[in-house]
Amino acid sequence: MLRSTNGIVLPMHHPDHPNLHVLEHPLIQDKLARIREIGTPPGFFRSLVAEVAGLMVFQVSRDLPLRREMVRTPLEETEVYRLASPVTIVPILRAGIGLADGVSALMPEARVGHIGLYRNEETLEPVTYYCKLPEDVSAGPVFMVDPMLATGGSAVAAAKLLRDKGCKDVRMVCLVAAPEGVRLMHEAVPDVSIYTAALDRELSDVGYILPGLGDAGDRMFGTR
């Protein structure tokens, strides 16, 4: 699902969801299959999540703007290209940490912020309990990372928080997404692009993605 624009190969929009990009690279799909398996132990699960995140961000970042500058090699001066603005990785706690590790391994110069959310059991609305971001987070693109995009409530809340901070380029990176969450994000924050390794079938009655991969946080940290 790739297209070429001005010599740059970009993931295509999903035909049913204009805000969604599904990354179908064979290595991503192979590792996602291992992540889905019920018997994958926590340590291997974490390493696979980080590996998939690194492979995904290679595609997510293909259209980042560049700037020219001069550097001196051991032999002479030459013109080179660097990222035009700083990149910030923002995991949604807690499971997003696993993806953030994989992205930062590929982009060690990126800053890392954190957003923590929980659901109010009376209103069922997400509530922010922690937010720590670079002061100039709006100076460049933000990669918001969370393994699952299920109902979309937490992702929408985090995206709106970043938008309130002045961020203009917010990209959601997740392993699997449900159509319900993709649609909610398109309604609430249509300017946020979603990049996922798989668009799954639906949500269960209790809000789990089907077929999904279970509770990513519990599987990642061995808490269940």
DSSP states along 92-108: EETTHHHHHHHHHHH-T
What is the three-class DSSP state of 4? strand
Is 200 among the residues known to form the active site?
no
Whether 71 maps to a domain, the answer reads yes
Whether 92 maps to a domain, the answer reads yes
Name the active-site residue from 34, 36, 183, 215.
Answer: 215
Is 88 among the residues known to form the active site?
no
pLDDT above 50 (res 109): yes
Q: For residue 41, count other CB atoms closer than 10 A to its CB.
A: 9
Whether 22 maps to a domain, the answer reads yes
Whether 72 maps to a domain, the answer reads yes
Whether 65 maps to a domain, the answer reads yes
Quick one: average pLDDT of 30-46? 95
8 band by pLDDT with thresholds 50, 70 and 90? very low
> What integer pLDDT is reported at residue 17 of this predicted model?
79
126, 155 contact by CB (below 8 A) = no
76 band by pLDDT with thresholds 50, 70 and 90? very high
- In the chain, the percentage of residues whose pLDDT exceeds 70 is 92
Is 123 among the residues known to form the active site?
yes
Is 119 among the residues known to form the active site?
yes
pTM for this one? 0.89
pLDDT above 80 (res 57): yes
7-11, 119-123, 188-192: range with lowest mean pLDDT = 7-11
Rounded to 10 degrees, the C-alpha dihedral 33/52/198/218 comes to 70
211, 36 contact by CB (below 8 A) = yes
Instruction: Domain of residue 160: give its range.
Output: 14-221
Q: Omega into 15 within 30° of 0, i.e. cis? A: no
pLDDT above 50 (res 10): no
Name the active-site residue from 123, 164, 205, 224.
Answer: 123
Q: How many domains would you assign to the chain?
A: 1
In sign, the C-alpha dihedral spanning 173, 164, 92, 110 is: positive
Name the active-site residue from 16, 62, 218, 223.
Answer: 218
- Which CATH number belongs to the domain containing residue 122 in this structure? 3.40.50.2020
Residue carrying the six token digits 């035009």: 84
Whether 3 maps to a domain, the answer reads no
Averaged pLDDT of the chain? 90
Whether 4 maps to a domain, the answer reads no
